Amino acid sequence: MNQHFDLVIIGGGCAGLSLAYQLSQFGENCPKTLIIEEREAYTNDRTWCFWDVKGPIHRDLAPFKWNTFSIKNNHMDFEYSCNETPYLMLPSDIFYKNTLNAINSNKKIQLLTGEKLVDKVIKRDAWHIPTSKFLATASNVVDTRPIKSMTKKDSLMWQSFVGYEVELDGALFVEDKLVLMDFDSNFKEGLAFIYCLPTSNSRALIEYTVFSEDLFTADQLTDRLLEKIEIYTQNKSYTIIRQEKGILPMGNNHIEQVDDPTYLFAGLFAGAARPSSGYAFQRIQTWSKDCAVELKNNRQLIKFKKDSWMQTWMDFLFITVIKKNPIIGAKIFVELFKNCDVRTVADFMSDHSSFWQKLKIIASLPALTFLSAIPELIRSKRRLGGSIDA
């Protein structure tokens, strides 16, 4: 039995659900939509964090925020206030619950879980999307599936991480201050650091993160994470509540779009991930809101907005410096926050910086180090097969 939809979203991850959520807000004016998701059920499998800059979407859902953070390097601890732009944390289970409630309350949206495509998507009179339950046809398709396999050559650098949410029997953590970066100088295959988000005085999410040319599995990083957890818990006994892990692109070429405006690739590998940080959540929210409005008003899909040429150059040059000499990476981050106000850094990391703020970022960093990396940046982009403004 065939069913026709105005829109089929392939993949019900952050990008797919965010678009469906925005569409659900239109009530009866929502396009008839199908979401196809492989997972059987949604669990608390990840955490999204972002700065409270210019009223970020879903700010009201974030149950945790910090007005103080620290950066640690070589036994030095630098503490900063971010009262103007608090750092927010949104656990995925809260996001999923809110989003799924909105989707389920709109009769024009159908979520099909535990399902995947059984054949290729093809276009005849409409797009044909074959599932094991029925053949769906659609006027428009948004495909949020990641690339099938990630290899070293697919991105200038990669952000690999594994984290445990741990709970102690007693109070230990300073719950009103997060550790944004605690650098591990003993790691030699990239820039590595601990990221610690205390959600109470006895509970925290502690992650071990690596920026590197190479991809690292969770298993490869777990021993280092456990060593650091022992330090952060002062060798006290703790319970592991849950694990999260991932590998994010930093400076990847975007998936090549289909030569048809009614089929759109979206998500991490289609422009969602910020090259210099891997941050994607708010970029996805902005795109999903814009795309939903365009679908409702004009029945058209829109891609992720391109970053400005200046931001693109700055991001790729930063990545190249870290790639060329990971050891200097910790010093660069320390200098950035030391020489530049937190508001400017937060605005820049949130895609909201002005031209003058970008100049302040540039002025806070070692000029010769970055200038000397330009030839390597050009060579790297050529190897990836893309231009720097892509």
Is residue 333 within 8 A of residue 191, CB to CB? The reply is no
Q: What are phi and psi of 30, to 5 degrees?
A: -70, 135
What is the Cα–Cα distance from 95 to 80, expressed in whole angstroms?
A: 28
How large is the average pLDDT for residues 364-373?
A: 75
Q: Give which of 178, 174, 172, 173 is closest to 82, Cα–Cα.
A: 178
- Tell me, rounded to whole angstroms, the distance of Cα 175 from its chain centroid: 24
Q: Is the pLDDT of residue 387 over 60?
A: no
Question: What pLDDT shows up at residue 369?
Answer: 73
Q: Which CATH class is domain 2-46+89-147+255-298?
A: alpha beta
Q: Is the pLDDT of residue 141 over 60?
A: yes
What is the Cα–Cα distance from 178 to 163, expressed in whole angstroms?
A: 15
Q: Give residue 390's pLDDT band: very low, low, confident or very high (50, 70, 90).
A: very low
Question: What pLDDT shows up at residue 366?
Answer: 78
Count of CB atoms within 10 A of residue 305's CB?
A: 12
What is the Cα–Cα distance from 357 to 343, expressed in whole angstroms?
A: 9
Q: Is the pLDDT of residue 234 over 60?
A: yes
pLDDT digits (tens, 9 = 90+) for 337-367: 999 999 999 999 999 999 999 999 999 887 7
Choose between 6 and 268: higher pLDDT: 6
Least confident range of 205-214, 322-331, 341-350: 322-331
Residue entry with tokens 């909201």: 352
Q: Is the pLDDT of residue 17 over 80?
A: yes
- Work out the mean pLDDT of the chain and round it to a whole number: 92
Question: What pLDDT shows up at residue 382?
Answer: 59
Choose between 68 and 74: higher pLDDT: 68
Domain spanning 152-250: CATH 3.30.450.20? no
In the β-sheet with 47-51, what is the strand arrangement from edge to edge? 47-51, 87-91, 64-66
How large is the average pLDDT for residues 100-111?
A: 97
Q: Is the pLDDT of residue 386 over 60?
A: no
Whole-model pTM: value is 0.92
Least confident range of 120-134, 141-155, 233-247: 141-155
Domain boundaries, the chain: 2-46+89-147+255-298, 152-250, 309-384
Q: Give residue 388's pLDDT band: very low, low, confident or very high (50, 70, 90).
A: very low
Share of the chain above pLDDT 70, in %: 95
Going by the DSSP 8-state scheme, the letter that residue 175 receives in this structure is T
Question: What pLDDT shows up at residue 385?
Answer: 57
Query: What 3-state class would DSSP assign to 241?
Result: strand
User: What tokens appear for 106 in the block?
Assistant: 């709109």
Question: What pLDDT shows up at residue 164?
Answer: 98
How large is the average pLDDT for residues 85-112?
A: 98
Is residue 145 within 8 A of residue 117, CB to CB? The reply is no
Question: What pLDDT shows up at residue 26?
Answer: 97
What is the Cα–Cα distance from 202 to 186, expressed in whole angstroms?
A: 28
How large is the average pLDDT for residues 201-217?
A: 96
Q: How do the residues of the chain divide into helix, strand and coil, expressed in percent and rounded to 5? A: 35, 30, 35
